[in-house]
A = this chain, B = another copy of it.
Amino acid sequence: MTERLVVIGGDAAGMSGSSQARRRRGPDDLQIDVFEKTGWVSYSACGEPYFIGGEVTDLTSLVARTPEQFAARDIAVHLGHEVMSIDTSARTVIVRSGGTDRTESYDQLLYTTGAAPLRPPIEGIDLVGVHTLKTLDDALAIKNAAAQVSDAVIVGGGYIGLEVAEAFHHLGINVTIVTSGDTVLNRTLDPEMGALATDAIRKKGIPVITGRRVRCLPDDSGRVGGVSCDDERVDAQLVILALGFAPVSGLAAASGIPLGPTGAVAVDDHQRTAIDGIWAAGDCAEALHRVSRQPVNLHLGTVANKQGRVAGINLGGGDASFPGVLGTAITKVLDIEMARTGLTVDEAIAAGFDAVAATTRSTTMAGYWPASSPMTLKVTAEVGTGRLLGAQIVGGPTAGKRVDILAAGIWEATSGHDFSMMDLSYAPPFSGVWDPVLVAARNAADAAMSGV
């Protein structure tokens, strides 16, 4: 008998899950229906700032696969279909499309609703000209709006905020970043690392106003005309709210699918929820942090793709486990790269570790190489063992992606001393003879072992 898999949400997690399930089970064995409330599936939200900035000229190039391509693989994508409720006993969902509700049954349900931009109660938030960025439609709206303005404000100093600021800077718009944090990326980097990034961004000609909350102010026509942060006013005909995301877990909660402590859907390592036949993955779901061993809720395409894959393999009859996350992330503003993985010292202490960190100032390439630029690494290690727990990097071109090598060491719970003797590649255009990650790991382990 043919089973039916219903997928709620057709972005990274949902479509990765659908694809993996289909690979393992043919259409006679498993019918797959994806309900997606927007007009797009399988798109790279991470690419949107670069569409806005003009590096990516064709919005459709951000779409990995079209509904037609999925249809050719017997995965039915239903655009403009919003799932309104789930009856976990009857194994049915109510789907709204074109104003009409209908009931659809399922045998297996994959809940991949993603995350939605936060919209806190900011005065003037609903003015025309105030945008959030999540979907391709959002990106298109912002790009069109940007073509009409000379001044813009980004509210929020996180990844999306920085990337859209860079995009506007590319477009020749006077852009100002306003954040309530003391630095940009203040939830990602420690204060002094965040300050490094903030100063570097300012030096590129992008003002950053920190420690301030905003109100959006109307112009004479009632559109947004600026923002007010305490006693300072910044003109802006376009305001982007980039204040983070929340998991779209309300539908799950209302249907009795348990959420975890983060407010996202609780899942086990196979991406099963607590309700039989219901799976969840991606931005709407929790993930186990591999270092803290605590559930976290990240909104990253990498995690969504991997969790979707795991869910899909299991839905397809395989046996896959999601091995956890380190929260590894990277961004750039012009030629300033910023990255992190694992835990900061404060996070490590909160997770029960006795932890220290060491900061290492180095260069991206051999010191005498002309294109070499400064690179600062802050590495967290466990006191007494020297085990690597986390890393932050701020630096010039090629600095950021090095976080992956540290992530590999943290992934394996390697000690910083062992890590520092790893056989990494070297030539002067690429690094010093001791790659900065090796030195940084050694310094962290030294700090962690001093007095032991």
A367 to B62, CA, bound (A): 9
A14 to B125, CA, bound (A): 65
Q: Which of A290, A341, A427 has the most CB of B within 10 A?
A: A427
Q: What is the minimal beta-carbon distance from A3 to any residue of chain B, in angstroms? A: 26
Q: Which of A327, A366, A433 has the most CB of B within 10 A?
A: A433
A47 to B429, CA, bound (A): 9
Q: What is the minimal beta-carbon distance from A56 to any residue of chain B, in angstroms? A: 5
Given contacts A44-B366, A370-B55, A412-B414, contact A407 B424 (CB under 8 A): yes
A422:B433 contact, CB within 8 angstroms: no
User: Using Cβ atoms and an 8 Å threshold, which residues of chain B touch A329?
Assistant: 425-427
Q: What is the minimal beta-carbon distance from A36 to any residue of chain B, in angstroms? A: 19
Cβ contact of A47, chosen from B46, B56, B326, B428, cutoff 8 A: B428
A421:B322 contact, CB within 8 angstroms: yes
A51 nearest CB neighbor, chain B only: B368
A423:B324 contact, CB within 8 angstroms: yes
User: Using Cβ atoms and an 8 Å threshold, which residues of chain B touch A348?
Assistant: none
B61:A368 contact, CB within 8 angstroms: yes
Given contacts A405-B405, A411-B422, contact A430 B368 (CB under 8 A): no
User: Using Cβ atoms and an 8 Å threshold, which residues of chain B touch A428?
Assistant: 44, 46-47, 50, 56
Given contacts A404-B435, A405-B404, A433-B305, contact A47 B426 (CB under 8 A): no
A56:B422 contact, CB within 8 angstroms: no
A331 nearest CB neighbor, chain B only: B427
Q: Does A79 contact B (CB under 8 A)?
A: no
Q: What is the minimal beta-carbon distance from A351 to any residue of chain B, in angstroms? A: 16
User: Which of A23-31, A88-96, A296-304 participates in binding chain B?
Assistant: A296-304
How many copies, total? 2
User: Using Cβ atoms and an 8 Å threshold, which residues of chain B touch A306?
Assistant: 421, 423
User: Using Cβ atoms and an 8 Å threshold, which residues of chain B touch A159?
Assistant: 427
B424:A302 contact, CB within 8 angstroms: yes
B423:A290 contact, CB within 8 angstroms: yes
User: Which of A194-202, A212-220, A395-403 participates in binding chain B?
Assistant: A395-403
Q: What is the minimal beta-carbon distance from A364 to any residue of chain B, in angstroms? A: 10
A408 to B410, CA, bound (A): 11
Given contacts A12-B433, A44-B433, contact A330 B425 (CB under 8 A): yes
Given contacts A366-B47, A404-B405, contact A425 B62 (CB under 8 A): no
A55 to B370, CA, bound (A): 6
A368 to B370, CA, bound (A): 29
Q: Does A101 contact B (CB under 8 A)?
A: no
A326 nearest CB neighbor, chain B only: B423
A402 to B435, CA, bound (A): 13
A163 to B402, CA, bound (A): 24
A368:B408 contact, CB within 8 angstroms: no
Cβ contact of A404, chosen from B300, B412, B414, B424, cutoff 8 A: B424
B323:A421 contact, CB within 8 angstroms: yes
Q: Does A377 contact B (CB under 8 A)?
A: no
A46:B405 contact, CB within 8 angstroms: no
User: Using Cβ atoms and an 8 Å threshold, which residues of chain B touch A431?
Assistant: 401
Chain A, 311-357, CB within 8 A of any chain B CB: 322-332, 339, 341
9 nearest A-B pairs in the assembled complex, by CB-CB distance: A408-B408, A330-B425, A61-B368, A326-B423, A404-B424, A301-B433, A328-B423, A328-B425, A302-B426
Assuming A300-B426, A341-B425, what are 8 further A-B pairs, CB within 8 angstroms?
A: A50-B428, A56-B368, A159-B427, A302-B425, A326-B423, A341-B423, A400-B425, A404-B405
